[in-house]
Amino acid sequence: MKRGKRPFGKFLMVLAIAFFYLPILYMIVFSFNDGKSLTVFSGFSLRWYRHMLESGDMMEALYTTFSIAVLATAVSTVVGTISAIGLSKSKKIVRDVMEQVNNLPLMNPEIVTAIGLMLLFITFRVEKGYVTMLLAHIAFCIPYVMLSVMPKIRSLDPNLADAAMDLGATPWQALTKVIVPQITPGIVSGALIAFTMSVDDFIISYFVTGRGVKNLSIMVYTMSKRVNPSINAISTLVVVIITIVLVIINVAPVIAAKRTAKTEVKHRRIWIPVTGGAVLAVLAVGFLQFGRGTLERPYEGQTLHIYNWGEYTGENIIRDFEEETGATVVMDNFDSNEQMYIRVANGESYDLLVPSDYMIQRLIEEDLLQKLDKSKLDCLDKLSDAVKGLPYDPDNDYSIPYFWGTVGIVYDKTKVDIEDLEREGYNIFLDEKYKGDIYLYDSERDSFMMALKALGYSMNTENEDELQEAYEWLVQCVQTMEPEIVTDEIIDNMAQGRKALGLIYSGDATYVMAENENMGYYMPETGTNLWSDAMVIPKNARNVELAHAFINYASDYDGAYDNSSYVGYTSANQEVMEVLSGEGGDYEGINAYIPRTDNPNDEVFVYNEETKKIIGDLWSRVKIAASNAD
């Protein structure tokens, strides 16, 4: 009977191993893909490794990740071990209380710990950056070390230290020569857990960092907003480093045991895993620091702090700007205009922001932006007239366009009849022919724009009855059409043809159409959102001169071409737009790349705080209706 079960048990084991390791293998294989696709292997190339090594941000993130992990592990291991030993000598009531206190951070949701630490640093006006991230990592690593060490201490004879001192050992010798060697397996386990937790952490790091300091988790999160195969390359490098560390930790004691006399081994083998892993980690950090140093260019001591959307710059623009100006660029990334607004409104200082149209209007109204010095700008004549002088900044006194575009419907030509789109417009999202085969975009503004335009209303309406009708339209959609509500996942999903149609930004549709010839982009005649993201300088900017220099560089042909060809969004530079969409251009024949400018029903969003609150509340209710429908 037992023998009959063994093949099945082996099969389950193989299945489990495949489940865990096949995705890693897949990632490693596609890190050598010549194309940007994450599903189609178009040829072997080291392109993404080269891009990774040339990216100052990626090298900085790797350096930050491993240097903080090594320092946090070292400090938390020492503090956690000493604390555990001290607790073992305390009264039982103190020991029990402290053990519960120690367990609290382990049980606490990470988001709660993250917000608590963030508020602590804000309260004491500690500038967020490398130091705050290190302190946070030390704080959450210590409980893991104590949890690993304390069981080993409990297993010791409580009279061991006294016996050692009775035999002539000093208290320090009793600790280091008797106690520590006995609990070393627990110390090593705690150190490895602390190192792993530090390398892996995202949520706490995200809330306690600032001034452009990012670890690997934050970098990957930022990069995952758009299709970027460099994620595979940098993740593969981390897998290689961790694998080497594990091999050294496990193999070194065996080798040492064979070469060293038994009596020597008893003393030394305990430390080999720790020292071997620590030395390798330090060497890795040193290597990354060296690589980071070689990538940095000479600079004159000036630093430009930019706050921009994630994955919203070209491959080379930052590096080329640094080479040309001698400056250092520090870029933080945000996920939404609202996230950006909170930081700026709370006084965090940036030299340059890239918000959207309606948010620029709000920042101007709240006097959080300064007027541009047009005598320092030579870029206005290079920009498309269609994206200049928009309602939120009619004279471009505060903003210079960065990217612009529309919101429309991406559709699979093999599944969707163009006549349906032309006849129904946005109402195609209520056509049960496509039930279960559509994406809705998880954005209150864009979803209500779609519903309002489908009903023939302005997307900037303040009429509550019209907003209520739009809400009911969306509820009908989620309850009858079984849509999948997504954000940036729609980009790769539609490139692979997983659904028939979905609401999408034109720049993302450009990438989808470039990857899959069966995809099309349609803008209903009832109108859409003509949006613009632009560069602005906040009131509290510290380096206004350099901010103007970057605006010029990003708007000039080389910088604008690098941005637009890589990201896929429409450049504000007229020449770049014509070259990329013209014969032989990257986006030749892709209508999504050229924004529509001749439809009177197209609008630019206008900021209205009261309407925004109403729409936000209604969208939350739409999503509840969607979950209930599921």
* Cβ neighbour number for residue 583 with a 10 Å cutoff: 7
Q: What is the mean pLDDT of residues 232-255?
A: 79
**Pairing label, strands 530-535, 400-412:** antiparallel
The pLDDT > 90 percentage for the chain reads: 54
Reported as a single tens digit per residue, the pLDDT across 106-140 is 888 888 999 999 889 888 888 888 999 999 999 99
Reported as a single tens digit per residue, the pLDDT across 454-463 is 999 999 999 9
Higher pLDDT, 434 or 88: 434
Q: What is the mean pLDDT of residues 28-39?
A: 79
pLDDT(430) > 80: yes
- Model confidence band, residue 21 (pLDDT cutoffs 50, 70, 90): confident
Q: What is the mean pLDDT of residues 32-37?
A: 78
> DSSP states of 429-453 as a string?
GG-GGGTT-EEEES-HHHHHHHHHH
Higher pLDDT, 479 or 92: 479
pLDDT(216) > 50: yes
The rounded distance, in Å, linking the Cα atoms of 399 and 393 is: 7
pLDDT(207) > 50: yes
The rounded distance, in Å, linking the Cα atoms of 388 and 573 is: 11
Q: What is the mean pLDDT of residues 381-400?
A: 95
pLDDT(79) > 50: yes
Residues paired with residue 23 on neighbouring β-strands, in sequence order: none
pLDDT(264) > 60: no
The rounded distance, in Å, linking the Cα atoms of 216 and 201 is: 9
Minimal CA–CA distance to 351: which of 323, 381, 321?
Answer: 321
pLDDT of residue 547: 96
The rounded distance, in Å, linking the Cα atoms of 45 and 48 is: 8
Backbone φ and ψ for 46, nearest 5 degrees, come out as -100, 20
Query: Do 34 and 43 meet the contact criterion of CB atoms below 8 Å apart?
Result: yes
pLDDT of residue 5: 55
Angle value at C-alpha 384, between 381 and 387, nearest 5 degrees: 115
Any idea where the domains of the chain sit in the sequence?
Answer: 2-50, 59-294, 303-403+533-581, 405-532+588-629
3-state secondary structure of 611: helix
Reported as a single tens digit per residue, the pLDDT across 35-75 is 776 667 778 888 888 878 877 778 888 899 999 999 999 99
Q: What is the mean pLDDT of residues 498-525?
A: 94
Query: Do 362 and 607 meet the contact criterion of CB atoms below 8 Å apart?
Result: yes
pLDDT of residue 630: 64
What kind and span of H or E run contains 409? Answer: strand 400-412
3-state secondary structure of 210: coil
pLDDT of residue 220: 80
The pLDDT > 70 percentage for the chain reads: 90
The rounded distance, in Å, linking the Cα atoms of 418 and 433 is: 14
Least confident of 90-99, 420-429, 569-578: 90-99
Q: 303-403+533-581 and 405-532+588-629: same fold?
A: yes
Q: What is the 8-class DSSP label of residue 534?
A: E
Which residue has tokens 């998880």? 442
The rounded distance, in Å, linking the Cα atoms of 314 and 554 is: 10
Minimal CA–CA distance to 214: which of 73, 113, 64, 51?
Answer: 64
Minimal CA–CA distance to 512: which of 569, 431, 574?
Answer: 569
Angle value at C-alpha 238, between 235 and 243, nearest 5 degrees: 125
Query: Do 525 and 611 meet the contact criterion of CB atoms below 8 Å apart?
Result: no
Query: Do 239 and 20 meet the contact criterion of CB atoms below 8 Å apart?
Result: no
pLDDT of residue 211: 77
User: First and final CA of the chain: distance in angstroms?
Assistant: 44
Q: How many CA atoms lie within 13 A of 234 on its CB side?
A: 28
Residue-level length of the chain: 630
Query: Do 550 and 565 meet the contact criterion of CB atoms below 8 Å apart?
Result: no
> DSSP states of 177-202 as a string?
IIIHHHHHHHHHHHHHHHHHHHHH--
The rounded distance, in Å, linking the Cα atoms of 621 and 448 is: 13
What kind and span of H or E run contains 116? Answer: helix 110-123
Across the chain, mean pLDDT equals 87
pLDDT of residue 296: 43
Q: What is the mean pLDDT of residues 152-160?
A: 84
Reported as a single tens digit per residue, the pLDDT across 171-198 is 888 888 888 888 988 999 999 999 989 9
Please enumerate in sequence order all residues whose Cβ is within 8 A of that of 297, keeping only pairs 6 or more positions apart, or say none: 319, 322, 323, 326
Higher pLDDT, 222 or 564: 564
- Model confidence band, residue 299 (pLDDT cutoffs 50, 70, 90): very low
pLDDT(599) > 50: yes
Question: What is the CATH class of 303-403+533-581?
Answer: alpha beta
Q: How many CA atoms lie within 13 A of 591 on its CB side?
A: 12
Least confident of 7-16, 230-239, 474-483: 7-16
Backbone φ and ψ for 105, nearest 5 degrees, come out as -65, -30
Question: What is the CATH class of 405-532+588-629?
Answer: alpha beta
The CATH superfamily holding the domain 59-294 is MetI-like (1.10.3720.10)
* Cβ neighbour number for residue 115 with a 10 Å cutoff: 15
pLDDT of residue 225: 60
